[in-house]
Amino acid sequence: MNIFVTGINYKKTPLEIREKLSFTKEEHATVLGELKKHDSVDECVLLSTCNRTEVYVYSHSNFFNGEIVEKCLCDLKGLDIFEYKKYFYFYSSTKAVKHLFKVASGLDSMVLGEDQILGQVKTACELAMEAGASGSILNGLFREAVTAAKKVKTYTGISKNSLSVASLAVKLLSDYFGGNLEDKTALIIGTGKIGRIALKNLLSKGIGMVYVCNRTHGKADVIAEGLPNVKAVNYDDRYNVINKCDIVISSTTSPHYTITRDMLEKSLTDVIQRAFIDLAVPRDIDVSIKDMPNTGYFNMDDLKLTVERNIDFRMLEVSRADEIIDQSVFEFQKWYDFREVLPVVKEIQRYTGELLDRKIQQTVAKLKTASSEDVETVKASIINIVKSILNTFVFNVRKCASKEEMEIYFKCLDNIIKNEQLEVK
């Protein structure tokens, strides 16, 4: 299969590198457009999340060079390819397919079995389609990845009581403050999915008060509505609010810091122990605040330690999930291989249709006493029988035959058709 993936992820690439190679939704079209300028890139999809940046490519070439993707991503971000090359990985054929299926299923996530990645995979494909960068191959690949992920979540327990980055952050905070958050006050900056999950988990821990803010104030109002311990505040007032908070969680898509050290130092007057959690990539919070007194600072990479301390029964489900993934990869391989013989299948269908028309005309000519309604019934019956036989044959060849057997079967049929046509002439 001429399917390839080039990328970086949290496993061997630190946060300070990942954020430099992170792309917003608005940047997808630009990245994909640049990649499509290369003759060897027929289709491409960009997947960019907090923990990974990956480009999936379908190429007519059997020997696609992943350095094309590496250079394109680095050039767009103004980075030296030779400095960042060591962080990239490259998979091809079934390894690339299996990698995507595992990613979509949450098997390759920092938080095993997390659900958010599936939505991100869907969005990546949708953005590529909107940009005109993906076609039948990658659309089919991502469709099957989503199907495989749903099977994993349905038939294994890997996503039961699944954790998320936000819920892990709240657990980290609970440990940081000795297990009790009831007398604490928090500010959540950003009201996206991660921010909402963080709010839910803080409230479940019985936190005293939570302030929420967003660059779009109306979104914060909607989230805070009806919750007695939650209040929406203006984004511009965030530093004043931080002064009375023990906890600050920030998760936005802003290209700039939501909290800088100099502004924070100017705003704080109350001396209390504070914890700042940065769940954004690129980072929202100036990392230098960790050097301020009475300040704890944690980001996405710090959560990896929490994950390692909280490996549970879901690890036992990984082998079952792998079996589902392997079967899904096998089925996709069948679909992919079948596409290569589609021209012959269409020729068989065309030839069968022409032959069928002649035979039907001969049969109908003998039905001199039949009504027009009976004639149409006979026609429909013959057509349905032949189509059923042909579809059953094609389906079973696709399902049971290897690629080599499939090619042989359809080549033989193609030769038979060509010989028949020569005899007719």
Instruction: Tell me the one-letter amino acid at 295.
Output: T
SS (H, E, C) 372-414: HHHHHHHHHHHHHHHHHHHHHHHHHHHHHCCHHHHHHHHHHHH
Assess whether the previous peptide bond of 282 is cis (omega < 30° from 0): yes
Listed in sequence order, the residues at least 6 apart from 380 whose beta carbon sits closer than 8 Å to its beta carbon are none
Residues identified as active-site = 50
Q: How far apart are the first and last CA of the chain?
A: 39
CA distance 312 to 309: 9
Query: Which residues are within 8 A (CB) of 270 and not within 5 positions of it... i.e. 6 or more apart?
Result: 243, 244
CA angle 150, 151, 152 (to 5 degrees): 90
Tokens representing 153?
């979540």
d(CA 239, CA 258): 10
Pairing of β 185-189 and β 295-298? unpaired
Tokens encoding 386: 């032949």
Enumerate residues 6+ apart whose C-beta is below 8 A from 388: none
For 348-365, b/e burial (b = at least 16 CB within 10 A) is beebeeeebeeebeeebe
Strands 185-189 and 230-232: unpaired
Return d(Cα 152, Cα 328) in angstroms, integer: 10
Contact in structure between 295 and 276 (CB atoms under 8 Å)? yes
